[in-house]
Amino acid sequence: VQLQASGGGLVQTGASLRLSCLHSDSRYTFTSYNIAWFRQAPGKGREFVAAINWNGDRTLYTDSVKGRFTISRDNARNRAYLQLNSMKPEDTAVYFCAADLTSSYDPSPRDDDYDAWGQGTLVTVSS
C-alpha cells in the first residue's frame, strides 16, 4: 500500500492547516482499510493523533487534539485528511498517515496495528 502525506508547513499559534493522505496503490482498494494519523515531535517517540474507519463513520482522537483536529476521508478521491485548527507549538511534529488492512469497525490507536506508512509531512507551529 502506497501512501503519500502532504500539506505541512510553518504556521503561527492559532492557525489552521489541512493535511492530506493520498492512496496511490492500484493493487488495493482505498476502502479496504482504516486510516490513522500519527506524529513524531523532535526527540520524542511516535504518537497517535487520530484514526478513521474504512467507511468514515467511526473516528478516534487522542485527548490533546479533541475539539481542534478533525479526521475525514473521501473514498471517491482515495484521500484521507486531517484538519488542524487552533494549533499550538506542541503540535509541532512530523505527521504520518498509516493504513490498517484489517478494516475493523473501530479504528485502532496502536501503531503496530498499521501495515503501511506514508513518508511524513512536517508541521511547525511558532509561538
For 36-59, write each residue's pLDDT tens digit: 999 999 999 999 999 999 999 999
For 4-27, write each residue's pLDDT tens digit: 999 999 999 999 999 999 998 878
DSSP readout, the chain?
--EEEE--EEEETT--EEEEEEE--TTS-GGGSEEEEEEE-TTS-EEEEEEE-TTSS-EEE-GGGTTTEEEEEEGGGTEEEEEE-S--GGG-EEEEEEEETT--SSPP--GGG--EE---EEEEEE-
Residues above pLDDT 90, as percent of the chain: 88
